[in-house]
A and B are shown apart, each in its own frame.
Chain A
Amino acid sequence: MTGIISYGAYIPYWRLQRSTLASALGSNGAKGARAVASFDEDTTSMGVEASRIALRGVSEKYSPQSLWFATAEPGYLDKTNANAIHAALSLDSSVNAFDCLGSVRSGIAAVHAAASGNSIAVLSDIRTGLPGGSDESMGGDGAAALCFGTENVIAEFISTGTATSEFVDRWRTPGDQASKQWEERFGEYAYAPLVEVAFNEALKKANLTAADVSHSIFSGLHTRAVKAAPKSCGINLDTLRDDFAATLGNSGTAHWGVMLANVLDTAQPNEVIAIVVLADGVNVILLRTTEALSAHQKQQDISLTVQAQIAAGRNDLSYAQFLTWRGFLHREPPRRPEPDRPAGPPSLRTAAWKYGLYGSRDESGFIYLPPARVSLQSGSIDKMEMVRMADIRATIATYTVDHLAFSMSPPVVAAVIDFDGGGRFQCELTDVDPASVKIGDRVEMSFRKLFTQDGIHNYFWKAKPVRTGLK
């Protein structure tokens, strides 16, 4: 039977305290914090990070048919965003890459599509709103990836339920920075009957009752409707799992994926998980965990669990920085020329390097980053094999803090890093405190958006400190 064989959630490093936000605007802030994608992240790059975590848990033989990417905040229109993820994961060209874009409900589509084959669903979102609004404070950024297959299934897909309805609750015109919402009580009214219909359909198909559910996940941008839903489903409220309202905020398209990852981090075998997503209708997915889940949990790097990533977050992001990163505050740039747009032809020629972080290794074992054709010592030409460096850790050989270089978030911290097993590379550090960097620090690679020029996102790799290094 088809089901989830591995999963990963990616929580960005930065947190904006709602108290910080409130004091900046002179309002009464809610408690807790929201997760914030860094200035060099977008839904695509976070999707890569979640997928990398998920793919750590599958065997080398795993060969997905397709990669389905869902977000309400795509980097591109017209151009397929999933392709950059596909490239960063170094998937074979025979693997499809598709987008499901624009609405929060797209995440359900990606998972349905992925579940129907041995495919990967990647859900990612960056949520904000106009300064002072609840979307700004209660939103959150994050991504989740689910790998589907038929062998070593850790959670079987047992049934689904659906209720689709057209009504105006939340909307955003393409290009707008914030979405709008109808009077809240109307949405509550519109969602309520749909919840019951979809949930009961899923239970009926699975031949289960509400009492059989061990873990329930309710997700959607309409807070009141989501809050009311468990009761109308007849679910035991003890089965409600953390919605991260206090710690991360609501990550829209990705939110139920992040919640599911958190459940799977600690769930027992043979438990039923109910997922109820309220987004322009209601979709329900019922899963049952298997015996294989325990083994999966044991081999997992515990620094990559949702709880560990929440704990590793940095809590002192300023509101001004947050506004700058999200494009609401246009700040004086450094008096330096903006970078050139990455050019299409060289980016295609070097795709294995730019997206997959492949180097080349010569006969002597010397590793070249970027890949080279001529060996440094022997001078031999094209006696190289390609080697993927993205998942290898490295040590800082030397570094500098550059106050002059162009950046969305100066200063630039540049480091020379030496990979375990060979290979030296000079790159930017990210998610880092410039004052705390030291020679000898351990780093790992992270897929980022270096900058955007002429509408082209320059995706490439940076290094970031290993925070809860277990290996």
Chain B
Amino acid sequence: MASHGIRDKVAIIGMGCTNFGEHWNKSTDDLLIDSSSAALASAGIALDDVDAFWLGTMGSGLSGLTLSRPLKIQHKPVTHVENYCATGSEAFRNACYAVASGAYDVVMAIGVEKLKDSGYSGLVVSAPASDGTQATVTAPASFSLLAPAYANKYGVDEAELKDVLTRIAWKNHRNGALNSRAQFKKEVSKETIAASPLIAGQLGIFDCSGVSDGSAAAIIVRVEDAHKYTDRPIYVKALSFVAGPAAGPIDPSYDYTTFDEVVHSANDAYKQAGITDPRAELAMAEVHDCFTPTELVLMEDLGFAERGTAWKEVLAGTYDLDGELPVNPDGGLKSFGHPIGASGLRMLFECWTQLRGEAGARQIPGVGQKDSVKTKALTHNLGGAPGACVSFVSVVGSELD
């Protein structure tokens, strides 16, 4: 399989991200206007300077008109993409390819989701007409299957695993407390997290990501043009997107302790970026912590821990803000919130912020400085459920290789 990548061919020159949360007073249109304006201002350009747009949203609108109508875009290509919870990353990936191909000079990738208007708790997805035989489990229930399977395979007892999951939520809340854009801007004690009401399986309400509204956007140009706009562009090193045969739910050999799709997309991305030891080389990672067991399993699938050891690394603080490899320094889906179409771009926004040394109170020590050794960051975004998902991994960096 050929996957050549576009390492150091395109660069991000500006980004914008709204606060995530319950925006009762903002519509999808408002969120799109706010994040696109912020991204344009960040790049120092006007809307007219953008040649083409990629809009990611799963359920907040259909077609390019969802963007062109509120922004009054004058007859330009606007592509609507959807790829479950990885929708925002998919908008970014396709926008990058358009620039790399030479088709356009300046493009915008923008993601948005307005979840809090549905009137329901949790994520609501409308499905095509069907025979009514599909399993009706909710997202937390699907992901809760990871916890007992992991504990069983690696001999972690139930209480110990609960401590691990609690610590993941605690860490992400702690990071989010330092982030003015996050949905939940406060630390939560481990006791409160561990005692929260059960939603599915072992997962309490604090093991679940925040259901929120929000939008994020990026402006992308060719690498050779990047310095026309900013002294500190962020270069795209790798983009990998994988959809699997969704065979986990029908294949008795699948054991619910890994995401095959993540392993494949991570390997592809590392190859594109020339990374051989991700744990040592990466300055930070934003990963898809939709539920706490997801982050646990991802540490192994992304190569941040040996198989069966991530739970120990979590307890040891390896992924804390001041740990060996900070994971979700912005609070992650857990604390920043998870407006589906925006999340992938929100992850990139944190890489953009950290690698440029602009993260303020949550700035990772030794990252984003002129003499920083670690100049690469990873985003990981997935959609679907264990055994049947799509996975996206990107690597971006502040230096050309």
Contacts and interface: CB of A to CB of B under 8 A. Distances in A.
B252 A397 contact: yes
Contacts of B148: 398, 439
A190 to B, nearest CB: 46
Interface size grouping (class) on chain A: 35 or more
Contacts of A401: 141, 198, 200-201
B137 A424 contact: no
A343 B145 contact: no
A427 interface: yes
B372 interface: no
B249 A416 contact: yes
Interface string A345-383: 111011001100000000000101110100010000000
Contacts of A340: 126-127, 129-130, 132
Interface in B227-254: 245, 247, 249-252, 254
Contacts of A422: 252
A345 B132 CA distance: 11
Of A350, A401, A425, the most chain B CB neighbours within 10 A belong to A401
B138 interface: yes
B126 to A, nearest CB: 8
A400 B252 contact: no
A262 B228 CA distance: 89
Given A368-B250, A398-B148, A402-B200, A347 B131 contact: yes
A336 interface: yes
Interface string A2-41: 0000000000000000000000000000000000000000
A311 B168 CA distance: 47
A294 interface: no
Contact of B124 (A336, A397, A423, A428): A336
Interface in B94-135: 118-122, 124, 126-127, 129-133, 135
A439 B121 contact: no
A426 B121 contact: no
B121 A427 contact: no
B144 interface: yes
B136 interface: yes
Interface string A396-413: 011111111110000010
B376 to A, nearest CB: 36
A439 B149 CA distance: 10
A366 B245 CA distance: 14
Interface size grouping (class) on chain B: 35 or more
A401 B76 CA distance: 48
B245 A428 contact: no
Interface string A192-204: 0000000000000
A366 B131 CA distance: 23
B308 to A, nearest CB: 17
Nearest to A348: B131
A404 B141 contact: yes
Contact of B199 (A346, A350, A404, A406): A404
A424 B145 CA distance: 15
A339 interface: yes
B138 A404 contact: yes
B196 interface: no
B152 interface: yes
Contacts of B254: 424
Contact of B200 (A341, A368, A404): A404
A236 interface: no
A424 B387 CA distance: 12
A315 to B, nearest CB: 27
A406 B144 CA distance: 17
A405 B201 contact: no
A138 B141 CA distance: 39
Looking at chain B's contact residues, the main secondary structure is loop
Contacts of B198: 401, 403
Contact of A376 (B126, B131, B199, B247): B247
A237 B27 CA distance: 78
A398 B256 contact: yes
B332 interface: no
Contact of A342 (B122, B130, B137, B140): B130
Contacts of B127: 340
A37 to B, nearest CB: 20
B122 A404 contact: yes
A21 to B, nearest CB: 31
Contact of A424 (B135, B141, B201, B252): B252
Contacts of B199: 403-404
Contacts of A458: 132
A75 to B, nearest CB: 15
A422 B129 CA distance: 29
Interface string A232-276: 000000000000000000000000000000000000000000000
A455 interface: no
Nearest to A341: B132
A446 to B, nearest CB: 15
Contacts of A450: 132, 136
A438 to B, nearest CB: 10
A397 B153 CA distance: 12
Interface string A436-463: 0001000000000010000000101000
22 contacts: A335-B120, A339-B132, A343-B132, A369-B250, A372-B250, A376-B247, A398-B145, A398-B148, A400-B142, A401-B198, A401-B200, A401-B201, A402-B137, A402-B144, A403-B198, A403-B200, A404-B122, A406-B136, A424-B250, A426-B135, A428-B136, A439-B152
Name the 4 nearest CB pairs between A and B, nearest first: A342-B132, A402-B141, A343-B129, A400-B201
Given A337-B120, A424-B250, A450-B132, 14 more contacts: A336-B122, A340-B129, A343-B130, A349-B131, A397-B252, A398-B256, A400-B201, A402-B140, A403-B200, A404-B121, A405-B136, A414-B141, A416-B145, A425-B249
Interface of A: 335-337, 339-343, 345-347, 349-350, 353-354, 366, 368-370, 372, 376, 397-406, 412, 414, 416, 418, 422-428, 439, 450, 458, 460
Interface of B: 118-122, 124, 126-127, 129-133, 135-138, 140-142, 144-145, 148-149, 152, 198-201, 245, 247, 249-252, 254, 256
